[in-house]
Amino acid sequence: MTTPTDRLPVAVVGAGPIGLAAAAHLLERGLEPLVLEAGDEVGAAVRAWRHVRLFSPWRHDVDAAAARLLARTGWRHPEPTGLPTGDDLVEQYLAPLAATEQLAPRIRTGARVVAVSRVGLDKTRSPRRDEQPFLVRVRTTDEHGRHVVADHHARAVIDASGTWEHRNPLGASGLPAPGEAEAAAFLAGPLPDVLGAERERFAGRRVLVVGAGHSAANTLLHLVALAEEDPADGPATRIVWAVRGASVRRVLGGGDLDGLPARGALGARLRRAVESGHVELHTEVTTSALEPSADGTEVVVVAETPAGQRRLAVDVIVAATGFRPDLGVLRELRLDLDPAVEAPRRLAPMIDPELHSCGTVPPHGADVLAHPEAGFFTAGAKSYGRAPTFLLATGYEQVRSIAAHLAGDDGAAADVRLTLPGTGVCSSSPPAATTGGTDPVQPSGGC
C-alpha cells in the first residue's frame, strides 16, 4: 500500500549550497525535506575547489532562509563584502547549516541517487501519473564496502545535484578527442590546486589550459603566480592558453563596469598576463587528438587552427572546458528541455551563450523551471544545463520559489525578485572573428 503523497517528504538531490537552501525553505513552508548527497560530506563539490576564492562576496553567497535557520544557533553572518574561498564557504556556512538540529537528521550523505521515476509507472504510462509518488533510487555502501540499493518515495523532487562530476571533454563535437582516455594521467581537473597540494605537478612544467570561462581564468592566474616564483637555476613554468572561440572577451569581462569588482579584477589581471607575454594565448583552437609519449613523460596535443594543424608537447593539460548535466538518472521522467542547452525550455533563451554573453539572467522561479512531470524541478547549476555563468544568488531564488509553489503559495512562487550584478560585457550576438588572432583580448559591446 502506497503512503499518501502529502505525507511524504520532498526529496532534495545534493547537499551543496542550493540543496541545503532548498531544505531550509521547505522547512519554513512546513514541508519535510530529505536531502540525499552522493559525497561523504555536505558541500562535496565545493570542497573539490576549496582553494579558489569566489568573486561574489558573502552578501550574495548566503541564502536568506538558511541564514534565519543559522541565526537560531548564534551564528553570525560573515562580513558581507568579504570574498570567501570554497573552504570558507564550507566551514563558515555549509557545515554549520547542515549541523543545525533542524537539518542534520534530514541529510543522508554517501547516498547517490541513481534513478528517479514514479512508483509503478515508467515514462510511457499516463493514467493518474501526477497522483503517484516519485520513486528515488539511492545507492549507498555498507560497512563491508558492498553497494546497497534502496528506494525512497517522495511527494516532489528538487534536483540540485549540480554538474561538477560531469565535465565536457577536450575534443570537438562534444566527444572526447582520440587518445583522450589514454592521456588521462596528463589531465588535471578544471580547478587544480596549483599553488598548494598540486604545486609540484605544475612548477617548471609546460602547462596547457583549455577553456574560456572563470575556471580557466583562475587557474591561469595561479599559474602566473607560480611562474613568478620559478628559481633562476630551474626550468621555467610555461603557460599556454587555448580557446575554441575567436575572442576571450567574455572571461576578460567588463573591468570597472562589472558589478562584482572581484570578477572585473579577475579579467583585468588576466588581460595583463596575456599582454605581457606571461600567458601565451591561442584562439580558434580545436583539439583533434592527444598522443601520450611512449615513455609517459609528455603528451602531444594535436590541434586544428586557422593556420593549419599544430602539434604541441606539454606536461599537463588543465581541461576547463565546462560541464554538462547528468540526465541519465532522469530517464524515466517527462522533461521539457531545450535541445541545445539542456536547460528547462523556458529558461534556455535567458542563459544560452549563443544568444547573448551576459553574466546575468532575469529573475525566474518555479513556473520557468517546471517540467511536464508535475512536482519535479531542477535547480542550481543543473538547471542551467550546459550554459555557464551560474551564480549562487540565482539558485537561492529558484528554490525559494519552488518551495512556495510546493506549499501551495503560487503568489509567492511567482513573486520572483533577484538583482544580479552585471558583468559590464553584454552582447546580443556571438563575437566576430579576429584577424589572425592578433586582437583577441580587446573588449567590445556594453550592457
264 in Cβ contact with 256 (< 8 Å): yes
Please state, in angstroms and rounded to a whole number, the distance separating the CA atoms of residues 170 and 286: 9
What was the pLDDT predicted at 114? 98
Point out the least confidently predicted range of 116-130, 200-214, 416-430: 416-430
pLDDT above 60: residue 442: no
Q: Which three cell numbers stand for residue 334?
A: 517527462
Render pLDDT for 150-202 as a digit per residue (tens, 0 to 9).
Answer: 999 999 999 999 999 999 999 988 999 999 999 999 999 899 999 999 999 99
For cell 510511457, name the residue.
124
CA-wise closest residue to 264 among 273, 254, 272: 254
Contacts 24+ apart (CB under 8 A), 390-393: 391/56, 391/60, 391/359, 391/420, 392/17, 392/18, 392/56, 392/60, 392/61, 392/63, 393/56, 393/60, 393/61, 393/418, 393/420
What was the pLDDT predicted at 266? 80
Render pLDDT for 226-237 as a digit per residue (tens, 0 to 9).
Answer: 999 999 888 999
What was the pLDDT predicted at 58? 96
pLDDT above 90 covers a percentage of the chain that reads: 79
Average model confidence (pLDDT) across the chain: 90
For cell 560531469, name the residue.
166
Please state, in angstroms and rounded to a whole number, the distance separating the CA atoms of residues 291 and 183: 7
* pLDDT band of 249, cuts 50, 70, 90: confident
* pLDDT band of 262, cuts 50, 70, 90: low
Question: What proportions of the chain, in percent to the nearest 5, are helix, strand and coil?
Answer: 30, 20, 50
- pLDDT (average), residues 294-313: 94
136's CB contacts (< 8 A; 6+ apart) are 11, 13, 36, 113, 115, 116, 151, 152, 153, 154, 157
Please state, in angstroms and rounded to a whole number, the distance separating the CA atoms of residues 62 and 69: 11
Render pLDDT for 71-81 as a digit per residue (tens, 0 to 9).
Answer: 999 999 999 99
Give the DSSP H/E element, type plus range, for residue 207.
strand 206-210
CA-wise closest residue to 217 among 116, 318, 306: 318
